Amino acid sequence: MLARTADNLFWMSRYMERIDFVTKTLLVGFSSNIDYGTQSSSKDNWRCLAKMLYSNFEDFNSESKNIANDVFRMLTIKDDNNSLKDLISKARENARGIQEHITKEVWENINKKYHQIININPENIIKKGNQTEFLFNLFDDNMKYMGIVQNTIHRGEGWDFMTLGRLCERSSLTLSISEEKFRDIDINGNESNNILYWKIFLLNLSGFEYYLKNYRLDKNADQVLDLVIFNKEFNKSLSFTLLEIKRYISRIIQETPNPNTNKLIKEIGRLNAKINYSDLENVKENGVINFFEDIKASLYKLTKTIGEVFFSYY
């Protein structure tokens, strides 16, 4: 496979994963507005999303009385990096150049989504109060995309690069939203042990039901940390995604030998070791935010190395 093709597959998949995340978090936010109204839990969630995803957060009014709609406008069309309009444009651009390497169904789904998003008018949606309906329909369409990919893409080299891109993006998003959520809380305080404090955060990661079934509802801050870092069964945890990244890198290396792969193997090995040879007490002792920042820096270095090894020959 040409390096340019692999690069397009990798980034197309990353952008589609981010579209799913942005859609999901917006949908959870508006659904939670119904439950929480203007309570602090709902407002804190909107601030967290804005800080995490808005390219010009310093210009954002986090005390706005209409913060939900401000974030909606920003993440549908206004932001130059993480709006749905920008992300689907980038995903489509990558997909358009590699149509012979993806199925007709995948291309048609991305192209259809592009035309749906590119023409939306957030002001009309806000005026009609249809934010939740719009986001639910888009989220449902994202699920269709994932099903189409699962059922039509053959399990070859292209699949491996698409999966690798999705996993790298998922790891990055889990890190970013976890860092913002834990930054503003005293992990040993009473508020951090209230399950309602973590509900929206867990819903954003599609992990609330899993958490209720697998963890006792005490020491919630510690247990949420365990979920997002160490739980190997939770498909958005760092432990799960980084192990899968290692597996798919190994698959690609076996299919396409490369003289520069030793550097990549060492990078992913070091990153997994930071998770595997750590524990909850160690993370808390050295500082939760310090841990997230260290892992984020290592993940950035890994993705840069992936680009150098697999995509730098064109």
Q: Using one digit for the tens of pLDDT, what is the confidence trace for 222-273?
A: 999 999 999 999 999 999 999 999 999 999 998 877 778 888 999 999 999 9
- For 194, phi and psi rounded to 5 degrees? -90, 120
The model's pLDDT over 42-93, given as tens digits with 9 standing for 90+, comes to 778 888 888 888 877 777 776 777 888 999 999 999 888 899 999 999 999 9
Q: Confidence band (pLDDT; 50, 70, 90) for 277?
A: very high
Query: For the residues 190-196, what does the mean pLDDT come to?
Result: 76
pLDDT at 18 over 70: yes
Residue 39 has pLDDT above 70, yes or no: no
Q: For the ranges 51-55, 141-145, 182-186, which has the lowest average pLDDT? A: 182-186
Using the predicted structure, report yes or no on whether residue 153 has a pLDDT greater than 50: yes
pLDDT at 314 over 50: no
User: Across the chain, what does the average pLDDT equal?
Assistant: 90
Domain boundaries, the chain: 1-153, 155-314
- pLDDT in the model for residue 149: 95
